[in-house]
A and B are shown apart, each in its own frame.
Chain A
Amino acid sequence: MNISDMILLAIANLFRTKLRTTLTLLGVVIGIGALSSMVSLGTGMQKNLTDAFLENDLFTSYRVTTKNIDLEQISGGNFENMEGFLDKPQTPLTDSIIKIISNIEGVQYAFADIQFPVQLSLEGYDIKLNAQGLPATSGQYKPYTNLLAGTFFQTDNEKSVVVKWETFRKMGLVPLDKDNLVVFSREDSLKGFKVVDPDSLLGKELVIKSKTLNPLSLAISTMGGKVPDEKTAFREVETRLHICGILKKSGSFAGQQFRGGIYIPMETADDIPKLGFSSIWDLFDEEEVDSYGSVYVRAKDIQDMEIIRKDIEALGLHTFSIADQLEEIKKTFLIIDSLFGAIGSVALIIAALGIINTMLMSILERTREIGIMKAIGGSEREIKFIFFVEAGFIGFIGAIFGLGLGWLVTRLANIILNARFPEEGIPVDLFYFPWWLLAGATAFSIFISLAAGLYPAIRAARIDPVKALRHD
């Protein structure tokens, strides 16, 4: 008897007891359904996060600061090292340092992180947000390549601006994106959202109002012992820029908020009077060289990250990259995935007990048949294999339907969760079914089922034909 014969025989046996097979199968289906949807949730969370990192180019970029941002040390209340550290002369982040960093091997480009609060108005719509200065070169890289309409600015000193989709949305304008259709909630419609053709926004004039300190009035009022009042202490400046490009809606987990809602060419941004940290220092110490709070460095390749970091640190500066955090994040997700997997596995183990029970019952019922098979020449190996295949087949079919169930459940859960917690109206895929989950769950299901079938199969093979065939 060859293997295909034994497999066919096993399947025929399962078909003979349809109801029982179906019920046993159902246990496995539910087990695999639970397991796969759980792991799919964990994987989905991880994927959403890493995708967001990738989309925002976080794996190939560093934020360079003068001080070490060591959250662990600060939260641990350990200031001993901090004091010594504060005594050390710090390298200021000046234009010349940025030039040095730019020339480090492997660095694509480096630019000062200029970010400042502004008030925008566009045809009567007003909104407050942060503006970010960017070099024109960054237009070649993610996430700035992902334009819905128009182009990124071409030079560092032109009077144009790139606006994020989300910024328009905050103003109540929804640029139409065919790849990313927005579902309006009822509140949205009540607020009076207006869908617009993104191309129609290009070229329009955006008025940027920024505030800056009025050094003269500040000095006067301070000398007079008076608290400077807002009207006189601050000066409001208007800058007019033309919209040259609109960035697409970014991923849901994207940490884009800290990078502002509009992007202005570097030099143009430099020229806008503003109330940034660096400008305050400028104000009180005119002699101090022009230095920035932090510098953004982009590597050509993820491989260069380590060398660049060493070179930057050799300058007496500090680097921060989400990539450094990646191992920790991965570890955390591994724990989450294992936990979810373990919960799902419990269901599968219960299903395995069901398989054992069903098979032992079936052996009891088929004792005579097994005796007959032995009498006409069936070997122990063959009988064992037939029962083994029966168990494995339940595992295999159970995995297929179980994955189908898991997929359905996650689709349904996704719809419900998205309806409950709409994230700016864009549906988020909370679950992820990668190929390894499909293959792994199938293999695991077959493995568990075979393990469950092992003992019944051995028992079937050991049946004494003389006893089995004794007259009824």
Chain B
Amino acid sequence: MILRVHNLCKSYYRGKLEIPALKNVSLDISEGEFVSIIGKSGSGKSTLLNLIGGLDTASSGNIFFRDQDISAMSRKELARHRRFSVGMIFQSFNLIPSRTALENISLALTFGGVPRRQRKARAEDVIRSVGLGHRIDHKPTELSGGEAQRIAIARALANNPAMVLADEPTGNLDSVTSSEIIDLLQELNQKKGISILMITHDQETASRISNKVIRLVDGSIANEQGKTSMP
């Protein structure tokens, strides 16, 4: 079991008004699984992913990543979790615009403690592994959406995480590019055994490629569908 979420609750507050974003969410993900989260806008998908990614802290409940309780971690330990355990991908790519593809990935390697002289070679390797060897010195604005997202995936993979968390990675892409990105994630999952947790609006694709699809409704899990249950 790579991830175990138990009775997770997260509320936001606007003054005294409580806005519950997640209510008693529990789920398990095994090593090497590809899991999709679907749900309407505002159902709490991103909130859940950010909590698992250690970008935010829960109101109550626990998140166990390989038996380590993320919800009990200090801010410093959370930074380590983000650095080495998980890699995050976003709808809007979130590359640093002033840095080239290579430099964006080098930064992640820098945080990962890779010695300076090894960084360039490793960054080039990981960029080639997502098929963008010819875009190494391009800045994000000089890349297409699909290329930018590939670089973002390369960055997420830079420090060899066990799990990739993807928040609507195809949300800004056309359908052809989207399926290329999905194919890439699937390849990572199958060839490298990286566990993937992906938020998507595309229910059909989710069902097709995932071992498990989790539907969030108003911050609660509605039903969990195993791939086997699909026709």
Chain A interface residues (CB < 8 Å from chain B): 1-2, 5, 9, 16, 368-369, 371-382, 464-466, 469, 471-472
Closest to B168 in A: A471
Nearest chain A CB to B174 CB, angstrom units: 18
0 or 1 for each of B68-112: is its CB under 8 Å from A? (1 = yes): 000000011001101110001011101110100000000110111
Query: Counting CB contacts under 8 A, is B53 at the interface?
Result: yes
- Complex contact A375–B88 (CB within 8 A): yes
Task: Tell me, in angstroms, the Cα distance from A125 to B65 when the chains sit together.
Answer: 103
Nearest chain B CB to A465 CB, angstrom units: 5
Add 7 more A-B contacts to A379-B75, A379-B79, A471-B92 (CB < 8 A). A369-B96, A372-B94, A374-B82, A376-B83, A376-B107, A469-B55, A469-B94
Task: Tell me, in angstroms, the Cα distance from A412 to B88 when the chains sit together.
Answer: 60
Query: Counting CB contacts under 8 A, is B155 at the interface?
Result: yes
Task: Tell me, in angstroms, the Cα distance from A382 to B80 when the chains sit together.
Answer: 12
Nearest chain A CB to B155 CB, angstrom units: 7
Partner of A377, one of B56, B83, B94: B83
Task: Tell me, in angstroms, the Cα distance from A244 to B3 when the chains sit together.
Answer: 102
Closest to A470 in B: B46
B23-67, CB < 8 A from A: 50, 53, 55-56
Q: For B80, list chain A residues within 8 Å (CB).
A: 377, 379
Count the A-B residue pairs with Cβ separation under 8 angstroms: how many?
65
Task: Tell me, in angstroms, the Cα distance from A380 to B55 when the chains sit together.
Answer: 12
- Complex contact A375–B159 (CB within 8 A): no
25 CB contacts below 8 A, A to B, read A1-B110, A1-B113, A2-B113, A5-B110, A5-B116, A371-B94, A372-B95, A372-B96, A374-B55, A374-B82, A375-B55, A375-B88, A375-B94, A376-B158, A377-B80, A377-B108, A377-B112, A378-B83, A380-B75, A381-B76, A465-B55, A466-B55, A466-B56, A469-B55, A471-B91
Task: Tell me, in angstroms, the Cα distance from A379 to B111 when the chains sit together.
Answer: 9
Q: For A5, list chain B residues within 8 Å (CB).
A: 110, 116
- Complex contact A469–B90 (CB within 8 A): yes
Chain B interface residues (CB < 8 Å from chain A): 50, 53, 55-56, 75-76, 79-80, 82-84, 88, 90-92, 94-96, 98, 107-108, 110-113, 116, 155, 158-159
Q: For B108, list chain A residues within 8 Å (CB).
A: 376-377
- Complex contact A376–B98 (CB within 8 A): no
Q: For B110, list chain A residues within 8 Å (CB).
A: 1, 5, 9
- Complex contact B94–A368 (CB within 8 A): yes
Nearest chain A CB to B158 CB, angstrom units: 8
- Complex contact B94–A373 (CB within 8 A): no
Q: For A368, list chain B residues within 8 Å (CB).
A: 94
Task: Tell me, in angstroms, the Cα distance from A375 to B90 when the chains sit together.
Answer: 10
Q: For A371, list chain B residues within 8 Å (CB).
A: 94
- Complex contact A377–B50 (CB within 8 A): no
Task: Tell me, in angstroms, the Cα distance from A373 to B83 when the chains sit together.
Answer: 10
Q: For A380, list chain B residues within 8 Å (CB).
A: 75-76, 79
- Complex contact B79–A377 (CB within 8 A): yes
Q: For B113, list chain A residues within 8 Å (CB).
A: 1-2
Nearest chain A CB to B225 CB, angstrom units: 27
Q: For B76, list chain A residues within 8 Å (CB).
A: 379-381
Closest to B89 in A: A375
Task: Tell me, in angstroms, the Cα distance from A372 to B88 when the chains sit together.
Answer: 10
8 cross-chain pairs, A with B, having the tightest CB-CB distances, nearest first: A377-B83, A379-B79, A377-B111, A376-B108, A377-B82, A465-B55, A466-B56, A372-B94
Nearest chain A CB to B49 CB, angstrom units: 10
Nearest chain A CB to B206 CB, angstrom units: 21
- Known pairs A466-B50, A466-B55; A378 contacts B111 (CB<8 A): yes
Q: For A464, list chain B residues within 8 Å (CB).
A: 56
Q: For A369, list chain B residues within 8 Å (CB).
A: 96
- Known pairs A16-B98, A469-B94, A471-B91; A375 contacts B53 (CB<8 A): yes
Nearest chain A CB to B48 CB, angstrom units: 12
Closest to B84 in A: A377
Q: For A472, list chain B residues within 8 Å (CB).
A: 92
- Complex contact A374–B79 (CB within 8 A): yes
Nearest chain A CB to B88 CB, angstrom units: 5
Q: For A373, list chain B residues within 8 Å (CB).
A: 107, 111
Q: For B95, list chain A residues within 8 Å (CB).
A: 372
- Complex contact B111–A1 (CB within 8 A): yes
